[in-house]
Amino acid sequence: MKEFMKNKTVTYNLMSFTGFKSLVVFSLLLEAPRSYEEIAEYFKKHEYIGESISIDTLRVYFTSLRMVGCEIIRMKKSEGSKYKMVSHPFELSITSEQIKSLAKVYKAVAKNIELHELITLEKFLIKIIEKIDNDELRTAYEKFSLFNGVSVELVENLIKHSKLKSQITFLYNSPRSGEKEIEIITDKVELNNNKFYLYGTGLEYNQYGYFPIARIKGVTSVNLYKTDISGFEKYTVGYELRVDKNELKLTDEEKIVEIKDNSLIIENTTSNPFIIKQRILSFGFACKVLYPESFRQEIINTLKEMREGYKDG
Amino acid sequence: MARLSEKYNDSCIKIFMLLKLLLEDNAEYSEIMNIFADEANASTFPVVLNKYLNTLKIFGIKVKKVKNKYHLLNMPFNIDFNIDDIKTVILLKSALSILPNNKSRESLEDFIKSIEIRYSDNAKNIANSVTSSVHLDLSFYFTTFHDQILECERLCTEKRKLEITYIVNDGENTIICSPKEVKYQNRKVCFSVFNQLSRQIFDIPIDNIKSIKQLPTVSTSKDVSMSVVFKLKGRLAESYKLKEWEYSNGFDENGNLIVINSSEDPDALLSRLMKYAENCVVVTPKIMKDRMRDLIDKVLENYA
């Protein structure tokens, strides 16, 4: 060893061999639990060390490592009596302040990035949580994550299907009828109101719709042949919206057909009028349905029915 | 004589103490001297330090000296980060700008640094090559609202009560409130405040704020939000998923789900409840019940 280091211009007295060996022991245990024999063999074959280590010397290293904060245990005989590093002071850690900042950044970022970036962020956080093993972080993550109760892999899978507009069947936990299989031609995955939804044309009612992904238990099959949905009935609703054009985020089904001084005329075409109805009601008095008359009447009737709920006041 | 198992190795302890100091980014020259005080004096210390730095170097740990401080450039114990992880780290770094320029930003910066230091050489190469292809566009927040954001962050730190005048529905409204936080939502920056009078959280879009007057008093009482109770009917009652800021006491005798909501901006809440149409009725408080009724009346006026 001494000679080798001399040859390599780093002289023996200019480095700590014991320090070097302790780093080797540390990194070996970091990789996996090791038996004395495995460590001794590694030492012997090491290009710099090239000599074995006695069990007594190894124990001295373990004691020293423990003194700097490493937790090393000896596993059971049935597990090969190997030495295992349970924890060490160089593990990735996070403070309470950092957890709070991470949560704040997550909340601000999550709704400003694309869905695929959000999935990447989520996978990264899951990896970090596994590495750090901090209960405070885990609890905070469960609270701030938009994926709470939703599998990242399932969302990713549904996005893939939506890109291909695949016809799939999934198992859905319906609050009304319990678990049932639903077949749809997928369209898109969206995050609305902090919840993930799968959009597509359902083949049971031949209607466009959406399903909260939290209720989807998994994709059970992918149909190789797609049903022709071009003949399904579609509705076009026109409405006037008093809103700043720059602040309005149109849905895929909406298009602006006219820009007026203080308002926009929008057309929304879908096979599911319920989705348009929800959209229109959420705009409040800033929105007025123009056509068709049947839909206009339906909105008025709904509003009157809503008003009934407050007839005492 | 100490038992064998109690024997320890001085060099081992010293090299790990040095590594710890480097990892904490606290490796000032004087701090390192403390570790080696028993074997080196001021004149021999550089030789001793060199010996340990050489040991780290031979093991593959790179250390760089800047002025009087040593910095760790890599860790020998890496975490397996892939290209997506590295892109996420870059994304988080660019998102740091939304944090106020104080210790919360510094602490997250430190955390990100502690991740980067664990990059393998391969990860470092990836990081250098993908930097230009990742950009989180938060610039729209800062190009337009930079000064306002900084001001609101300052007000949040000082915690004094505020008198805010802002534009709402073509009119103006003035409230006395306590600052809570700056919220970034869907390309919109809101100043979230708590109004003690109505006991409601208001998320006021920053561009709607006309004036903010800081009052001399500091809010001492705990801000307890007013709860809004609403009932959900039909299928919605069965399928509704409670929000983080809601809870339920279960169903009433007619099978309606009773939901207790607090801390949601009242306008945002009413807009959401409108979507539920006839399947939702606000129960209490009277002020929110009246607002919902007036809102429905106003929408109906569109069709009069």
Q: Which residue, chain included where needed, has tokens 């207790």?
A: B260
Decide if pLDDT at A160 tops 90: yes
Question: Which amino acid, residue B156?
Answer: C
pLDDT at residue number B138: 60
| DSSP structure string for B103-124 | HHHHHHHHHHHHHHTT--HHHH
Q: Which two tokens stand for residue B4?
A: 């064998």
Chain B residues close to A147, C-beta within 8 Å: none
3-class SS of residue B164: strand
Dist. CA A219–CA A215, nearest whole Å = 12
Burial label, B6 (beta-carbon count in 10 A; 0-12, 13-18, 19+): exposed
Pairing of strands B27-28, B188-195: unpaired
pLDDT, tens only, A199-219: 999 988 888 889 999 999 999
Over residues A10-20, mean pLDDT: 76
Chain A closest CA to B283's CA: distance in Å?
9
| Residue B210 token pair | 């006309």
Q: Determine whether the interchain pair B108/A65 forms a contact, defined as Cβ–Cβ distance below 8 Å.
A: no
| Mean pLDDT computed over B92-108 | 79
Q: CATH for B158-218? A: 2.30.30
Radius of gyration over every alpha carbon of chain A, rounded to an integer in angstroms: 31
Nearest in space to A290 (alpha carbons), one of A255, A240, A252: A240
What SS3 string covers A18-75?
Answer: HHHHHHHHHHHHHHCCECHHHHHHHHHHCCCCCCCCCHHHHHHHHHHHHHCCCEEEEC
CB contact under 8 A, A288 and B105: no
d(CA B112, CA B120): 15
Residues of B in contact with A283 (CB under 8 A): 271
Q: Quick one: pLDDT at residue A2?
A: 44
**Which has more pLDDT, A286 or B40?**
A286
Does residue A291 surpass a pLDDT of 80? yes
Q: Which CATH class is domain B227-301?
A: alpha beta
Residue type, A145: S
Asked if B136 contacts A113 with a C-beta cutoff of 8 angstroms, the reply is yes
Compare all CA atoms of chain A with the CA of B269 and give the residue at the minimum distance: A282
Percent of chain B scored above 70 by pLDDT? 91
Task: Pick from B91, B93, B111, B206 the residue to mutate for testing the A interface (most A CBs within 10 Å).
Answer: B111
Set of chain B residues whose Cβ sits within 8 Å of the Cβ of A282: 271-272, 274-275
Rounded distance between C-alpha atoms, residue B35 and residue B49, angstroms: 10
Q: How far is residue B17's CA from residue A13's CA, in Å, rounded to a whole number?
A: 20
DSSP per residue over B166-229, as a string? EEETTEEEEEEEEEEEEEEETTEEEEEEEETTTTEEEEEEGGGEEEEEEEEEE--S--PPPEEE
Residue of chain B whose alpha carbon sits nearest to that of A60:
B8
Q: Provide, rounded to the nearest whole percent, the portion of chain B with pLDDT above 90.
A: 32
Averaged pLDDT, A152-173: 95
A225 DSSP 8-state letter? S
Q: What are phi and psi of A89, to 5 degrees?
A: -75, 0
Residues of chain A neighbouring B15 (CB-CB closer than 8 A): 16, 19, 22-23
Residue of chain B whose alpha carbon sits nearest to that of A64: B8
Peptide bond into B179 cis (omega under 30): no
